[in-house]
Structure 1
C-alpha cells in the first residue's frame, strides 16, 4: 500500500482534478506522467509540478495515438483519467452534435483509454464521473447519463480486467480552472452558495479528490467501486 517508485499516468493532468492527483502522487513518491491534449498546458503544468514528472501531448479521442503511446512504453502501475470536454444544457436546447461530442469525449474517451492501456497485474485504472449520475438535475440530463455510463463501465471492466483493478471517483462541485471564466463576483457567489447548502459547509478542491484517487491506487482490496466525494451533495 505504497506509491513509492510507482509509475502513474494521469490523463487530464495539466489542470484541475488531474493536476491535483499528479501533485499528490508525486508527494507520495511516485514517478508521474501527465497527459493532455494541449502541449502548452502540459509544459506549464510541468513547470509547476517539478519532481519526477514527464509530460506528453495525448488525446483520448484518438484511439490510434493511444495505442501507439502504450505500445512504446512499459506497463504503468496506475492510470488515472479525468480528461473530458463536455457541454451541458437542457435536452431540447443542447444541439445533438454537442451531445454526441460530450459522450465521445468523456465516455468513449474513457472506453478508448481502457482498450489501449497497459497496466501491470495488481495495478489500477481509475475514472472520474460525477454525482449527477445519482442526483439528477434539470438541464443536466446529458451529464448525468454520461457519468452513470462511466460508473457502469467501471463495474464491467473490474471483472474483465482483473487482476487489474478498475474504480471510479465521483466528485461534486470542485474549485478548478473550469470556472475561471465566470466573473469574479459570480464565481464567488456560486461557491459561497454551494458551501452553504452542502452538509460539509465547504466546496471541494482537487486535493480532496486526489485523496480518494490515491486510495484506489494503494488499496489492493478495492475494485468495481464508485466513491462519491461530493461534500454530501448527493443528499440534498
Structure 2
C-alpha cells in the first residue's frame, strides 16, 4: 500500500517549484490561475486550441513573476485529443497538478428541438475532455498530486433549455467523486469547483453582458451584489492544489448566488 503523503503547509506558497498543467489556460479563469501560480513560484504549462492566444497568455503569466522561459510553457491543440495531452506532459516533465477549466456552454436549447446528432456530439466532446484529462493524469501524477475540474451552480438550480450542458456538468461532478476514490490508493486527489457567474470573456460573450454595466447589473441578484473576478475563481483552484487533505469535493464559488 502506498505510504501516506507527508503533511505540508496548505497555503499556496507550498506550490513553489511545482508544475501545474492548465487545460484551457489561454483565457478567463485558467489564465488567471496561471498568473496566480507563477506569483507563488510554480511552473505553468498552458494548453489551448489557439496558438496566438496561448502566446499572449504566456506573456501575461510570465509577467506575474520573474523566471526563465521554461517556467511558462504552451501546447496548442484540442484538449480532447490524447495526443495533445501526451505532448503537454512530455514537454512539462514531472507534473504535480492538473486543472481543467470549462470550455464554454454548448448544446443549449429545448431538448425536443435539439437534433440527436448535435446532442451526441456535445456529450461526446464536452464530457470526453475531463475523461481524457483524467486518463492522462492517472498514471503520471505523483503521490500528493491533484486533478481539479470545473462545474457550474446551475447543476443544483437547473434552468429551461440547459438540459444537455447541465448533464455534462453533472457528469463531471460524479466523475470527480468516483476518481477521488479510484485514485486514492495512488495518493492523488481529485476535486471540482462549482462556479457561479465570473467576469470572464465567456460571460461577456452572452447577450446583455458585453459591457461593464451589464455585468454589474447581472451581479446585483447575488447576496454579495456582484459577479466574481477571474482571480477569485482561480484562487479556489490553488486551494485545491495546495491543501493535501481535500479530495472528492465539489467546492462552490458563487458569491452566495446559489442561495438567492
TM-score by length of 1: 0.91
What's 1:97 paired with?
117
Match of 1:39 in 2: 51
Residue 73 and residue 18 in structure 1: after superposition, are their counterparts in 2 closer, same or farther (change >3 A)? closer
Match of 1:169 among 184, 193, 205: 193
Whole-angstrom distance in 1 between the partners of 2:32 and 2:209: 25
Could you list the per-position Cα deviations for residues 119-160 of structure 1 after superposition, in whole angstroms to 9, with x for gaps in the alignment? 111110000111111111112122221111100000000011
Task: Find the counterpart in structure 1 of residue 21 from structure 2.
Answer: 9
1:206 maps to: 230
Superimposed CA distance per residue, residues 204-236 of structure 1 (whole angstroms, 9 cap, x where no aligned partner): 111111111001001000000000101112123
In the alignment, structure 1 segments of 5+ residues that lack a partner are none
How far did 1:200 drift? 0.9
- 8 Å Cα contact 1:85/1:102 also seen in 2: no
The equivalent of 2:4 in structure 1 is: none
d(CA) in 1 for partners of 2:177, 2:208: 40
Identify which range, 181-190 or 39-48, moves more after superposition: 181-190
Q: In structure 1, how many angstroms separate the alpha carbons of the residues matched to 2:105 and 2:226?
A: 25
Q: Take 2:210 and 2:88, find their aligned partners in 1: how far apart are those partners?
A: 41
Alignment of 1:121-200 (within 5 A): 121-162=143-184, 163-181=187-205, 187-188=211-212, 190-200=214-224
Distance 1:23 1:101, change over 3 A: farther
Gapped runs of 5+ residues in structure 2?
1-8
Partner of 1:106: 126
TM-score, L = length of structure 2: 0.83
CA apart distance, 1:92: 2.6
Number of aligned residues: 236
**Shift in alpha-carbon separation, 1:230–1:105, aligned structure 2, 3 A:** farther
SS at match of 2:103: coil
In 1, Cα distance between the equivalents of 2:28 and 2:202?
Answer: 7
Q: Distance in 1 between matches of 2:85 and 2:130?
A: 11
Match in the other structure for 1:224: 248
Larger radius of gyration: 2
Q: Per the alignment, do residues 154 and 183 of structure 1 end up closer, same or farther by CA in structure 2, a change over 3 Å counting?
A: closer
Q: Alpha carbons of 1:196 and 1:26: their partners in 2 closer, same or farther (altered >3 Å)?
A: same
SS at match of 2:57: helix
Aligned-residue offset at 1:72:
6.0
> Mean Cα displacement is larger for which, 30-39 or 88-97?
88-97
